[in-house]
Amino acid sequence: MNFDNYVCDGQMSFDDIFGETVKVNKPIRLIELFAGVGSQAMALRNIGADFEHYKVVEFDKYAVASYNAIHGTNFETSDIRQVGGVDLGIKDTDHYTYIMTYSFPCQDLSVAGKMRGMEQGSGTRSSLLFEVGRLLDEVEELPQILLMENVPQVISKKNENAFKQWTDSLEWKGYKNHIQILNAKDYGVAQSRKRCFMVSILGDKGYQFPKPIPLDKCMKDYLEDEVDEKYYITSEKAKKLIDKLVIGGKLLTDRQTDRQTDRQSTCHSKSLELSTQRIAYRQEQTGEYRQDMQKEAVCVNGLGFIEKGTGQHQSNMVYGTDGLMPSEYAVQYKEPMKVVECKKLNA
């Protein structure tokens, strides 16, 4: 297997991801720690890489069930604290390229949580990072490539000592670390989602992160044309909101005849008040908002928020579909995002 001449129209190539100085020309064995539903495996699949789902370490039984359903595998749940280096089965590195990913828990790093940190021995969920170090200490042969992904706060001032401890330990093992914060919107996805990535390569090899690509999508491109009535807002106060948005020029006036134009997800709202925030690219002209298609998918378009007595928060915001999807907080799995399709005028 050799990716030197690999071409995949409309997708990033393998070399785009791993850089010109890193050549993968041996069969790939993928090891996913904190695997979730296998996003890293999906990425390899999407660029056409031929790889083996070699090992998965994931504690959540529902995540593992989803992983198996998505990837056609048969993995079982496992607790990283109970896994030993020998269980990873890393051998014959002369014949295989081992890529090990570790998107360790972010709950104690994220601004949406209590930010308890990730110091080794602290007992926080985010400190499970150092279980990865233990496994690397226990294996007889090291994986050639490591990939870390987490929230940007992983390299914040609060966590800099613990993160430096981690990167120093990798360098001591012979890895060269390459770190950068990337945003999904810069790589073809209509979501503003910043994440810190670190690619660690065994040996003194260079690496360049992929360059941003133009974004030609916004949130509405992902929405379904046919939506069940149960997902529409039907309260009287929601109706007043819709009328207010129509009067303000933010919604199409023919929404009653075209249900697609006022699509929203389920919400049990009491009221919605327009926020005073204005997105940089939205300029008010004669009561209507002029949209520049090239700038349309650069920002998240927050139209207002559902008043719950707790003030404005991402979980109760309502977004226009002419912008990007925001980066979701963990709480949002309990309450779906609320969206409406905005009025669009010719530039």
Say whether 267 is catalytic: no
Catalytic residue among 106, 196, 218, 342: 106
Of 104, 111, 119, 114, the closest CA to residue 159 belongs to 119
How many Å apart are CA 309 and CA 118, to the nearest integer? 33
Pair of tokens at residue 294: 């090239």
Residue 31, C-beta contacts closer than 8 angstroms, at least 6 positions apart: 54, 55, 56, 57, 88, 90, 98, 99, 100, 101, 143
Q: Which residues pair with 33 in a beta bridge?
A: 57, 102
Q: What's the distance, CA 194 to chain centroid?
A: 8
Of 30, 29, 99, 103, the closest CA to residue 63 belongs to 103
Of 203, 197, 146, the closest CA to residue 175 belongs to 203
Would you name the residues annotated as active-site residues? 106
